[in-house]
Amino acid sequence: MVGFDVHDGRAVPKIEGAVVCIEHAQLLREASAAIRDQAEDQQAHECHEEALALWRQLLRSMAVRERIERQYAHLDDGS
């Protein structure tokens, strides 16, 4: 508990953080950093996969457009 917040006119305990034995503090910091790094790597991977999917969609759309333009090109010249 690090203090109190007031909600609806009543004091409510504010709980944040954790109490850790000093002997385990460094281990906890390292584990926290590893988890944070892993989450960042996962987010970068997901962003990369999303970008690849968008490029694939763009290329497919361009190929379809090109095919349709070639297929119906004779209609544009008034024939």
DSSP assignment string, the chain:
--EEEEETTEEEEE--S----HHHHHHHHHHHHHHHHHHHHHHHHHHHHHHHHHHHHHHHHHHHHHHHHHHTHHHHTT-
pLDDT, position 24: 95
Query: What are the extents of the domains in the chain?
Result: 23-76
Query: Which amino acid belongs to residue 65?
Result: R
Is the pTM value of this prediction over 0.75?
no
Q: Are 5 and 14 in contact (CB under 8 A)?
A: yes
For residue range 9-31, what is the model confidence (pLDDT) as tens digits? Answer: 899 988 888 889 999 999 999 99
**Which pLDDT value is given to residue 27?**
96
Q: Is the pLDDT of residue 79 over 60?
A: no
